[in-house]
Structure 1
Amino acid sequence: MQDPTLLLCPQDYSLLTDLYQLTMTACYVGEGVDQRRASFELFVRRLPDSFGYLVAMGLEQALDYLEQLRFSADQIAALQATGLFANAPTRFWELLASARFSGDVWAVPEGTVVFAHEPLLRVEAPLWQAQLVETYLLNTINYQTLIATKAARLRDVAGAEATLLEFGTRRAFSPQASLWAARAALAAGLDATSNVLAALKLGQKPSGTMAHALVMALAALEGNEDQAFRAFHRYFPAATLLIDTYDSIAAAQRLAQQVTAGEMTVNAVRLDSGDLVAQSQQIRQLLPGVAIVASGDLDEFEIARLQAEGAEIDAYGLGTKLVTGSPVNGVYKLVEIDNIPVMKESSAKITYPGRKQIFRCLQGSQFQTDRLGLMSESPQPNEQPLLQPVIKQGQRLQPSEPLAVIAERTRTAVASLPPPIRQLHHAPTTLPQISAALRHLTDQTKRSAKS
């Protein structure tokens, strides 16, 4: 089964898991509890530093994974060949051979703002199934939620008029991650991605500029920087010209002369280094009708600084700091087994038992508070439940949502938050209120665990 390319395809989904998911499944089978109904919830205990909220993302890929979960005969043979499962019961292999996800899934829609301790997703399924899927669900939801949240913060700071471009493919943690990052960024409000594969798969038009290499190569071979610009312009007349290879102001001055003389039209220029404030201000004077694109390790903090200092920038290319950073450390915990509520009580990692619902209170369109309660509770006036059924008995209930719909949900959700939660520095920690019923169940479950 060796494949040094390590490329992922849907047929590989079943084995893209941690070993202990499979060893626990074998144990569940041996103990005769594999079919007991279990509920697991995926949530974040604490947000990354400086984040006041999270934007849930990655559900689409999670659902695709659950729909296509299968074990082939070759995969089963490969597992057997490891020798790790020599003592596993025979029925374990029979279970894998017929494996299909048959459970229910509840989730908040992509683009929904959530806070610590609030479930983004819940899986209700036979114990072995609910256990097995943990690794993949955490992988896709944690990463895409991180990217979506950073993208939403970037949009919130840059404003609705700025063009925001995702340039992170070369810095993402893997080729697969680059595709997910592009999707999450677009779904959270960025305008376009330079990742051609991601754009075309998502029905979008890729967007990009040019590299310093082209300027240097054509300048060396054809005479000078202006020749490089003209050459590229011949084939891509609407393209953005990268003007800081040598001297951005001198390049802008020469372009301004050509524009004035009617020799060339320039739609946009890009700056990738140096003092972006001073350069953009000078270039705006030289090329008043030309859009200015900035890039170079930008994030929401740097954009806020540039704006505060009066930079004349129309668009931003976001790469490294968008697709990397402090992780969203989501966890996936058992909350109920065979209708018995369970909870983790270890220090600093306590969980709430039982199947839960997030009840969001809005005053008009503005966020007021969240209440974390039990699924059996009803919403109070001005509350709306956030978790919705998305899979029933293994069957998906809703079609895929267009990215534009998710992006609008993200925009609306972020706009509904009070300014302190949206601030970049020292955003307050927002926690849901715990309902009386959930508090009672928590106390009851603690007592039962100690009896």
Structure 2
Amino acid sequence: MAAPEFDIVPPETIRDGSATDAYFLRTEETLRHAERNPTVVAEVTADQFPAGEFELLAGVKDAAALLAGLDDAVTVDALPEGTLFDGGPVMRLEGPYRSFARFETSLLGFLSHASGVATAALNCRRAAPESDLLSFGARHVHPSIAGMIERSALLAGFDGFSHVAAGELLDREASGTMPHALVICFGRGEQEAAWRAFDEAVPADTPRVALCDTYSDEKDEVVRAVETLGDDLDGVRLDTTASRRGDFRHILREVEWELDAREMDGVDVFVSGGLGPAELRALRDVADGFGVGGYVSNADPVDFALDIVEVEGEPCAKRGKLSGAKEVYRTADGGHAVGLRDRDGPDGAEALLEPLVRDGDVVREFSIEAAADRALADAERTGFGSGAAE
């Protein structure tokens, strides 16, 4: 059999459970040999108790697709996608253990990676709440997961992204105008020719955003772009490398000054390149929008684990974990609380776990817009991203 062209695990392998750690297959084999298949409650959890360090749940759509159709006896509950969580389960599975044992690896991967990316993106969104934010980080990750990166950024409130194939997957149009490579192809001193050719070549509905830092001073290139494209110019982008920036805030103020001097109030200033929440806070009043790359795409996954907490109706857990099926709550003051499922929750608290899979079917609709609204509302309630945490 010929080796695959790319090192990508195909969807059908994820679906049949082969995309797993070997010891789960050994577990299946052993339990089958012993004629054991207990009904269990298993919970996906990052932290046992709330500690005030919230993270944003993403990846639930893919997790639901994975778990649907496994066994009608398996039920799944989960927090709504776009919920900020802090301690306790984000998902609960109940049913015969062998029905879902081998899917743990992929399940945790779906939730862990997407939630880490979404949490980083929400940090950026909160750092620049009024700015246009685009996800530019697909170049930092394996192309097979670009769709997950861009969807997670949108879920956290980003306005768009750059990856074309991800756009086709998500039924959204990718954003972006020109790279330094385009300007360089025209040669030093020929920036005007590059901007003019771009204006002539691309569709009328493509924003005319000129990249203005390839060969000379940012202010100089911005003025030249204004003089070249005039009223057709929608914006300028500065993607200056960190080693050449100096006082970047001062540079942006100079650019804004020159645009104002030429009465070009309709020209937006867009900034990209090595940005995170700290830079967004520092520049949000002198720039109209930002492209954020590695801070979001390279985010550490959330360290989720799946643990059995009940077997045949009896509470149990390994050392370091809490036994018994649990419920999680959003308290009236915006906090997060965890309690046993068969007990009353805090006064005035909202239980967060909702049905996800019943009788083998997904019983929830997924909307990126609704999840983003939830994430931003939760951020307000919990105070997420209101300080300097990054």
Query: Is the TM-score greater than 0.5?
Result: yes
Q: Indicate the residue corresponding to 1:213 in structure 2.
A: 181
Q: Indicate the residue corresponding to 2:254 in structure 1.
A: 282
Change (3 A) 1:278 1:61: same
Q: Specify the SS of the correspondent of 1:362.
A: coil
- Asked if 1 retains the 8 angstrom alpha-carbon contact of 2:65 and 2:362, the reply is no
TM value normalised by structure 2:
0.89
Output the CA distance in 2 between the equivalents of 1:162 and 1:103. 44
Find 1:397's aligned residue among 363, 373, 386.
363
Q: Deviations over 1:39-90 (max 9, x none)?
A: 111111389xx99310111000001112266xxxxxxxxxxxxxxxxxxxxx
Output the CA distance in 2 between the equivalents of 1:112 and 1:140. 16
Note the 1:165-314 alignment, pairs <5 A: 165-172=134-141, 174-219=142-187, 224-236=190-202, 238-247=207-216, 248-258=218-228, 263=230, 265-273=232-240, 274-275=245-246, 276-288=248-260, 289=265, 290-307=267-284, 312-314=286-288
Q: Indicate the residue corresponding to 2:11 in structure 1.
A: 10
Output the CA distance in 2 between the equivalents of 1:423 and 1:264. 40
Q: Deviations over 1:244-296 (max 9, x none)?
A: 1012221112223346xxx5521011111124312211111122421111111
- Asked if 2 retains the 8 angstrom alpha-carbon contact of 1:39 and 1:130, the reply is no
Output the CA distance in 2 between the equivalents of 1:208 and 1:176. 20
Query: How much has 1:316 moved relative to structure 2?
Result: 0.7
Output the CA distance in 1 between the equivalents of 2:150 and 2:383. 28
Change (3 A) 1:51 1:179: farther
**Does residue 1:319 correspond to 2:293, yes or no?**
yes
Q: Indicate the residue corresponding to 2:66 in structure 1.
A: 65
The number of aligned residues is: 372
Q: Specify the SS of the correspondent of 1:133.
A: helix
Query: How much has 1:314 moved relative to structure 2?
Result: 0.8
Q: Indicate the residue corresponding to 2:304 in structure 1.
A: 330
Find 2:132's aligned residue among 159, 163, 169.
163
Output the CA distance in 2 between the equivalents of 1:68 and 1:230. 55
Query: How much has 1:119 moved relative to structure 2?
Result: 0.7
- Select the structure with the greater relative contact order (CA < 8 A; seq sep ≥ 6): 2
CA root-mean-square deviation: 2.2
Q: Deviations over 1:223-262 (max 9, x none)?
A: 7111111101112352321111012221112223346xxx
Output the CA distance in 1 between the equivalents of 2:57 and 2:371. 10
**Does residue 1:360 correspond to 2:330, yes or no?**
yes
TM value normalised by structure 1:
0.78
- Asked if 1 retains the 8 angstrom alpha-carbon contact of 2:192 and 2:228, the reply is no
Output the CA distance in 2 between the equivalents of 1:272 and 1:250. 15
Query: How much has 1:127 moved relative to structure 2?
Result: 1.0
Q: Specify the SS of the correspondent of 2:89.
A: coil
**Does residue 1:39 correspond to 2:8, yes or no?**
no
Gaps of 5+ in 1: 70-99, 427-451
Change (3 A) 1:208 1:415: same
Q: Deviations over 1:210-231 (max 9, x none)?
A: 11010010236xx711111110
Query: How much has 1:385 moved relative to structure 2?
Result: 0.4
Output the CA distance in 2 between the equivalents of 1:108 and 1:294. 35
Output the CA distance in 1 between the equivalents of 2:381 and 2:59. 22
Query: How much has 1:359 moved relative to structure 2?
Result: 2.1
Output the CA distance in 1 between the equivalents of 2:362 and 2:223. 58
Q: Indicate the residue corresponding to 1:84 in structure 2.
A: none
Output the CA distance in 2 between the equivalents of 1:377 and 1:190. 38
**Structure 1 letter corresponding to 2:20:** T
Q: Which runs of 4+ in 1 moved over 6 A?
A: none
